Amino acid sequence: MELKGQLAVVTGAGRGIGAAISRRLAGMGATVVLAARDMAQLHAVRQEIESTGGTAEARQLDLMNEQSVAKLAADIENRHRRCDILVNNAAIGNSGKPLHEMPPADWDSLMATNLRGPYLMIRAFAPLMVRAGSGHIINISSLAGHNPLPGGAAYSASKWGLNGLTYSVAEELRPHNIRVSVVAPGSVNTHFGGGGSGKNPDKKIQPDDVAHVVAMLVTQAPQSFVSEVLLRPTQKP
CATH number, domain 7-231: 3.40.50.720
- Active-site annotation holds for 119: no
What integer pLDDT is reported at residue 198 of this predicted model? 62
Position 22 confidence tier, pLDDT thresholds 50, 70, 90? very high
φ, ψ for residue 141, nearest 5 deg: -105, -140
CA 35 to chain centroid, in Å, comes to 10
Active-site annotation holder among 9, 46, 129, 155: 155
What integer pLDDT is reported at residue 89 of this predicted model? 97
Q: Across residues 28-40, what is the average pLDDT?
A: 97
Q: Across residues 109-116, what is the average pLDDT?
A: 97
Q: Across residues 100-114, what is the average pLDDT?
A: 96
Taking 60 as the threshold, does the pLDDT of residue 72 lie above it? yes
Name residues whose C-beta falls within 8 Å of residue 49's C-beta, 6 or more positions apart in sequence: 22, 23, 26, 32, 55, 56
Position 128 confidence tier, pLDDT thresholds 50, 70, 90? very high
For the chain, percent of residues with pLDDT exceeding 90: 84
Q: Across residues 97-111, what is the average pLDDT?
A: 95
What integer pLDDT is reported at residue 114 of this predicted model? 97
In SS3 terms, 21-34 reads as HHHHHHHCCCEEEE
pLDDT digits (tens, 9 = 90+) for 132-181: 999 999 999 999 999 988 899 999 999 999 999 999 999 999 999 999 99
φ, ψ for residue 218, nearest 5 deg: -85, 0
Domain borders along the chain are 7-231
What is residue 206's DSSP assignment? P
- Integer Cα distance of 210 and 27 in angstroms: 15
